[in-house]
Amino acid sequence: MTGTSWSEIEAFFRRYRARPLEGWWRGPDGEENYRALFSRVESGVDGLLAETFNTRPVADVCDNRLYSEPDGPAHILMVSHIGTIVTILCHLVGLTLFPWIYEKMSLGYGGLCPIRTAPLAGHWAWSLTSFNDRTHLGNDIL
C-alpha cells in the first residue's frame, strides 16, 4: 500500500471488513491467503525454537502442542506487526487461528505479550502471561 493515502487505506479496510466471512480466508486481493500465512509463520517459529533452543513439538493433545524440554532458558524478543505476533501466540498456546482473529485480539503499538514455558506431563507447554501490556510506555503515551 506504498503511496496510498490514509483515507484510501481506511476505505480499503472498511470494504475488507464488510466482506462475507468465507471471503476472508483468501486474504486481501493480491496478497497471501491466511492459510499460507499461518503455515509460514508456524513453520518459522518452530524452526527458530528448534535451531536456537533445541525444542520441538512432540505431542498434540486436544489440538494443543506440547514441546520437548529446551536446552536451557529460552529468551527471545520478537518484534513484528499484529498478524505475525498473534499467529505466533495462537500457535504456541494452542488457540485456533482464523482470519478475523486480529479483530478479536487487538494489540496496540508497543504492546508486550510475554510467554513462558511450563512443565506439563513430561513435556513443555507455552503459557501467555499477559497480553498487550503497554505500561512500559508511560502514561503520556497511553
Q: Are residues 68 and 129 in the same domain?
A: yes
H or E segment to which residue 44 belongs: helix 34-53
74 compared with 19, residue with greater pLDDT: 19
Q: Are residues 8 and 64 in the same domain?
A: no
Mean pLDDT for 34-46 is: 94
Q: Are residues 23 and 59 in the same domain?
A: no
Mean pLDDT for 37-57 is: 93
Cell of 76: 527471545
Closest CA to 40 of 54, 53, 27: 27
Mean pLDDT for 104-125 is: 89
Per-position b or e across 2-18, b if 16+ CB within 10 A of its CB:
eeeeeeeeeeeeeeeee
Please report whether residue 13 resides in a domain.
yes
pLDDT of residue 138: 84
Q: Indicate the pLDDT class of residue 23, thresholds 50, 70 and 90.
A: confident
Mean pLDDT for 96-107 is: 89
